[in-house]
């Protein structure tokens, strides 16, 4: 066997995400680079690790055993790194965060200086929808989560870090049509484009439309804000989207805001954690960093 730690890390991430594309995004690699490393890793085993059926990745029983062993190896490597940093009297450990998909436009600005000041800290970020984000906190799988709507449970503490505005958008051509979304005429208009069930943006969008008396809709449902954005730019329909993720497209003229009563909808980005979870030294340090630097970060990057 001649596999590398890099191959182990990539294989574990592919198993966790069941996707080459998602693994590449989370590892900040290109999709071809991930595919090549998986191919080279597989070449060292006579038994298949992964199976691709209908463009979907399935992990074989043998692959699951190899993934479990690989995780153990990587944990040992992390432990060695942590001990090395500890002798240098530096903060060490891993910070696990789950975020809603639009959170990728927010969290990096809160991590950048923190990681520069603490090179012994490693970050694990799971990007998913709101339902799974909350579930990861309840299952004690992460230290923090980042969401952008109201909390329904009292089992979490939080820090309000940033305002989040949601607006109705279309591309420049469809926005000029000024859709009514009236029940009697909506069947003749372009559809509304929604996120999947469990999405915080979807929840906010449905609540707004209900208040406007729009209950019977033609709709398209997509699994990410990026997919929704591309569909709206292509002229497939309209959507209510977080402004933070579409500023450049509005500035460049690919998208246009459609004024409506009750819009924009303003919520708060919240860094949340379970009240009963005892924070690790790394988690406590990050919490303090956010509290001390939130205003500076807002003024520097989100003013």
Structure-block tokens of residue 48: 């298949």
Residue 128 pLDDT > 80, yes or no?
A: yes
Residue 196 pLDDT > 80, yes or no?
A: yes
pLDDT score recorded for residue 96: 93
pLDDT score recorded for residue 91: 80
Question: In a 3-state reduction of DSSP, which class is residue 113?
Answer: helix
CATH topology of domain 164-266: D-Maltodextrin-Binding Protein; domain 2 (3.40.190)
Question: In a 3-state reduction of DSSP, which class is residue 60?
Answer: coil
pLDDT band at 152 (very low <50, low <70, confident <90, very high): confident
pLDDT band at 11 (very low <50, low <70, confident <90, very high): very high
Contact between 162 and 301 under an 8 Å Cβ cutoff? The reply is no
Give CA–CA dist 120/80, Å, rounded. 11
Highest mean pLDDT among 31-45, 178-192, 207-221: 31-45
- Tens of pLDDT along 222-235? 988 899 999 999 99
Residue 209 pLDDT > 90, yes or no?
A: no
Q: Which residue has the tokens 């596999």?
A: 3
Least Cα distance to 246 among 299, 193, 291 occurs for 193
Q: Is the peptide bond before 264 cis (omega within 30 degrees of 0)?
A: yes
Give CA–CA dist 102/124, Å, rounded. 17
Residue 180 pLDDT > 80, yes or no?
A: no
pLDDT score recorded for residue 64: 94
Residue 6 pLDDT > 80, yes or no?
A: yes
Q: What is the chain's mean pLDDT, rounded?
A: 89
Least Cα distance to 238 among 199, 190, 185 occurs for 190
pTM for this prediction: 0.68
CATH number 3.30.420.40 given to 1-89: no
Residue 83 pLDDT > 70, yes or no?
A: no
Q: Which residue has the tokens 């906010």?
A: 204
pLDDT score recorded for residue 80: 76
Domain ranges of the chain: 1-89, 164-266
pLDDT score recorded for residue 122: 87
């Amino acid at each position: 066997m001649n596999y590398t730690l890099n191959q182990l890390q990539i294989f574990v991430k592919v198993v966790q995400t069941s996707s080459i594309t998602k693994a590449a995004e989370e590892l900040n690699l290109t999709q071809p680079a991930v595919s090549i490393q998986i191919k080279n890793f597989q070449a060292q085993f006579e038994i298949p690790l992964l199976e691709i059926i209908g463009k979907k990745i399935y992990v074989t029983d043998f692959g699951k055993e190899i993934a479990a062993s690989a995780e153990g190896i990587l944990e040992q490597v992390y432990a060695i790194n942590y001990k090395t940093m500890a002798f240098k009297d530096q903060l060490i450990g891993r910070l696990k965060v789950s975020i809603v998909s639009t959170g990728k436009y927010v969290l990096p600005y809160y991590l950048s200086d923190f990681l520069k000041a603490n090179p012994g800290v490693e970050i694990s970020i799971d990007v998913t929808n709101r339902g799974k984000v909350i579930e990861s906190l309840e299952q004690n799988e992460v230290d923090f989560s980042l969401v952008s709507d109201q909390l329904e449970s009292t089992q979490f503490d939080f820090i309000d870090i940033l305002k989040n505005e949601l607006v109705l958008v279309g591309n420049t051509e469809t926005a000029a049509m000024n859709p009514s979304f009236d029940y009697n005429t909506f069947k003749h208009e372009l559809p509304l484009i929604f996120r999947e069930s469990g999405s915080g943006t979807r929840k906010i969008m449905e609540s707004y439309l209900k208040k406007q008396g729009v209950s019977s809709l033609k709709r398209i449902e997509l699994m990410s804000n990026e997919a929704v954005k591309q569909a709206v730019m292509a002229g497939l329909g309209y959507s209510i989207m977080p402004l933070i993720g579409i500023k450049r497209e509005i500035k460049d003229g690919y998208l246009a805001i459609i004024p409506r009563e009750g819009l924009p909808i303003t919520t708060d980005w919240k860094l949340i954690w379970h009240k009963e979870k005892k924070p690790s030294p790394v988690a406590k340090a990050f919490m303090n960093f956010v509290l001390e630097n939130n205003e500076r970060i807002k003024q520097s990057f989100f003013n």
